[in-house]
Amino acid sequence: MTGGHVAVVDLGYGDAGKGTIVDALCGTGPVRAVLRFNGGAQAAHNVVVPGGRHHTFAQFGSGTFHGVPTHLTRFVVVDPLALAAEAAALGNPFHLLTVDGDALLATPWHRAANRVRERRRGGGRHGSCGMGIGQTMEYALSHADAPRVADSRSPRALRRRLAAVRDRLTATHGPLDAPPLDDVLAAFTAFGATVSIVDGSHTDRLLREGPCVFEGAQGVLLDEWRGWHPYTTWSTTTFGNVAELCDSFERLGVVRTYTTRHGAGPFVTEAPLDLPERHNGVGEWQGAFRVGHFDAVAHRYAVEVAGGVDALAITHLDAPARCPELRVCTAYEAGGVRVDRIEPGPLRDLDHQARLTAMLTAARPACLHRPRDWATGIGELLDAPVRIESHGPNRTDKRYRYMPVEGAVRGTVTGAAPVLRA
């Protein structure tokens, strides 16, 4: 990797290929660390390396196969049980991991309560990974004693906090399917004795010592404040958290050549395309893995609410040749009107986002075309240069069209057609 720090953010609903892009960046030059800045164990970032080795990264950074250290910042929800399982699959590379002591801990009771709540929604499910990440975030907003990573070094205090989680969530949701408290306490204190727990100054030290890659989870169209409410995540999926940790970084947006969505929620360009998925499928909690034409309208909105991007990484560039029916959608028909821009509302206005959800649910593609050069066409539609082309899952399938330069491209989108307003 050349230049300074890079933040990798998905401009869709997740699953665009952030893991393979982070792996590629970590192989192009020295990288001091991969910093995770949102989400938690629900992340599923697939990396395939020469020889066929494959791993779905969740809490370890996607540069791990290169020996690049991972740092979990305070914005990550840490699940010690899931982390132990992932570490075992990787050969226990705990020497490559540091964790901010202020990061929240996801417990088995958070996970169980998350699943009870989603089941009770029946046909009105919001979509969930069933890992308790959102439940952990919600719990912490109303309970100052929510367990955090640093508590794992103090068994007595950790026991009190874990018991409080168990008792409060059980009182709210009824009996929860979770291990006994003593078993959870033992696992969490073992986690505290195994990992290197640091304070907030560690992030600053890493950033001073060399170029770092910020690896995002999920996608901008699922953002807690900018996504289609209520089909969203309890996480800031834009560059917002990165900006709180770092003063200067390149904003790299990732998109596929076709748009995908896992689970419920609006998906204007969904279509029965023959695009089989190797690493995603129907899940009990996430629901079906859905595919559709490239939704330039929604991805332009993502660029705009993310504050713009400096460059793009476009993945699955081998897909158009395999799927002749694949198209790019540049406008919707909504309420009898053709629109090519979704107007962002005020930040944290969930009523506005819910109105957008209703409008998008009823919208249909109005303009579909097939570009001659998919990478160039997508770059022009999103008003950003293409830095990385990915023509397959392996790091050897990557091509570099653009390298970082001074300045930034900000994705302001205008057009002659009306905008979609809530």
Contact partners, residue 418, CB within 8 Å, separation at least 6:
337, 338, 339
Number of Cβ within 10 Å of residue 409's Cβ equals 18
DSSP 65: G
Is-catalytic flag, 71? no
Is-catalytic flag, 45? yes
Beta bridge partners of 70: 34, 97
Contacts made by residues 231-234, CB under 8 angstroms, sequence distance 24+: 231/126, 231/127, 231/263, 231/264, 231/265, 231/266, 231/357, 232/126, 232/353, 233/39, 233/133, 233/134, 234/133, 234/134, 234/137, 234/138
The annotation status of 391 as a binding-site residue, yes or no, is yes
Q: Is 303 helix (H, G, I), strand (E, B) or coil?
A: helix
Q: How far is the C-alpha of 59 from the C-alpha of 215, rounded, in Å?
A: 10
User: What are phi and psi for residue 213, nearest 5 degrees?
Assistant: -115, 125
The annotation status of 286 as a binding-site residue, yes or no, is no
Catalytic, out of 10, 15, 23, 100: 15
Number of Cβ within 10 Å of residue 416's Cβ equals 6
Q: How far is the C-alpha of 256 from the C-alpha of 295, rounded, in Å?
A: 10
Catalytic, out of 5, 10, 23, 45: 45
The annotation status of 392 as a binding-site residue, yes or no, is yes
User: What are phi and psi for residue 84, nearest 5 degrees?
Assistant: -65, -40
Q: How far is the C-alpha of 339 from the C-alpha of 259, rounded, in Å?
A: 19
CA atoms within 13 A on the CB side of 366: 18
CA atoms within 13 A on the CB side of 243: 10
The annotation status of 223 as a binding-site residue, yes or no, is no
Q: Are 297 and 259 in contact (CB under 8 A)?
A: no
Q: How far is the C-alpha of 18 from the C-alpha of 315, rounded, in Å?
A: 9
The annotation status of 383 as a binding-site residue, yes or no, is no
Q: Is 398 helix (H, G, I), strand (E, B) or coil?
A: strand
Q: Are 379 and 6 in contact (CB under 8 A)?
A: no
The annotation status of 316 as a binding-site residue, yes or no, is yes
Cis peptide before 80 (omega within 30 of 0): no
CA distances, 175 to each of 130, 172, 287 (Å): 17, 9, 25
**Binding-site residues for IMP, please?**
218, 233
Q: Tell me the binding residues for GTP.
A: 316-318, 390-392
Annotated binding site: 15, 218, 233, 316-318, 390-392
* Residue numbers annotated as active site: 15, 45
Residue ranges at the known binding site for Mg(2+):
15
